Structure 1
Amino acid sequence: MYDKTLVLDILHQLLEATEKIQQRFEQIETVSDFTDSPFGMERMDSICMQLIAIGESLKNIDKITKRELLVQYPEIDWKGAKGLRDIIAHQYFNVDAEEIFWVCEKHLPPLSETIRQMISDITL
C-alpha cells in the first residue's frame, strides 16, 4: 500500500497546476495569441512551466504507488502527459505553440476532472 496522504498532497498540487493553466489560457483564443506578442509568449512560458510540474508530479505518483494508481484511470494519456514534461524540459527552444494550445484546449479539462475524481476516490 502507498502513502495516501502524500499522494493526496500531490494530487491537490496537480489540481492547482491545472487550474493555473486554465486561468492563464482563458485569454488565449488562437495559437497566434501565444506567438505574436510578448504577452502571449509569457503566457506560453508560464503554462509550460506548469506542464513540466504536472509531468514530474505524475512521475512521482507512479513511483510512490508502484504504478498502481494512474492505470486505474485509463481515460487519460498518462504516458503522454509525462512525456510532454520531458519534451518541454529538454527541447524547450523547439516547443510547438500549436501543441501547447491543443493540450490546453483539449487535454487539460479532462485531466482536471480526472484528478478531482482521484482525490474523491482516495478520500473515501
Structure 2
Amino acid sequence: MSDLIKENFLKILQSLEMIKKRFETIKTPDDFVLYTSIEWQQIMRLRDIISHHYDSIDNEIVFDICTNHITKLETEIREILN
C-alpha cells in the first residue's frame, strides 16, 4: 500500500472516530433511532475495518465512500448538531 493511500486511510479513520466520539457525547444510543437517514451501523463497521483490517480493504470502495457519501454524512451530522 502506498504512503499516500495509508495517509488518506488515516485521515478517514480520524474523521470517522471524531464523528463517533462527537455524536456519542451529545446523544444517547436511543437517539440513533431518530436519525434513520444515517447508516450508523455501517459507519461504525467501516471505522472498525479501517482501524483493524486495513490490510484487506478494497481501496476503490473506500474511495467511493469518500467521494460519494462523506459530504452527505457531514451535512446530516451538522444539521443534527445545530
Which structure 1 residue ranges, 5 or more long, are not aligned?
Answer: 1-34
Deviation track 1:7-35 (CA, whole Å, cap 9, x = no partner) reads xxxxxxxxxxxxxxxxxxxxxxxxxxxx7
For the 8 Å contact 1:56–1:85, the answer to whether it is kept is: no
Tell me if the contact between 2:16 and 2:43 (Cα under 8 Å) persists in the aligned partners.
no
Deviations 1:76-123 (A, max 9, x none): 111000010111112111121111111111210111011111111xxx
Mapped contact 1:88–1:95 kept (Cα < 8 A): yes
Q: Which amino acid aligns with 1:45?
A: F
Correspondence for 2:13 among 49, 52, 71: 49
Structure number, greater radius of gyration: 1
CA distance in 2, matches of 1:99, 1:54: 21
The answer (yes or no) to whether the contact 2:9–2:50 under 8 Å persists in 1 is: no
Using the TM superposition, give the Cα deviation of residue 50 of structure 1 relative to its aligned residue in structure 2, in angstroms. Answer: 2.0
CA separation in 2, counterparts of 1:55 and 1:96? 22
Aligned length: 81
User: Residues of 2 paired with 1:44 and 1:76: CA distance?
Assistant: 23
- For residues 104 and 76 of structure 1, the distance between their equivalents in structure 2, rounded to whole angstroms, comes to 15
Unaligned runs of 5+ in 2: none
- SS of equivalent residue, structure 1 residue 93: helix
| 1:61 is aligned to 2:41 | no
What RMSD, in angstroms, separates the aligned Cα atoms of the two structures?
2.6
| Residues in 2 aligned to 1:103 and 1:43: alpha-carbon distance in whole angstroms | 16
Counterpart residue type for residue 94 of structure 1: S
How far, CA to CA, are the matches of 2:46 and 2:21 in structure 1?
A: 12
**Deviation >6 Å, runs of 4+:** none
Correspondence for 2:47:
85
Question: How far 1:47 moved relative to its partner?
Answer: 2.7
Q: Secondary structure at the match of 1:50?
A: helix
Match of 1:76 among 22, 38, 60: 38
With the length of structure 1 as denominator, give the TM-score of the two structures: 0.53
**SS of equivalent residue, structure 1 residue 69:** helix
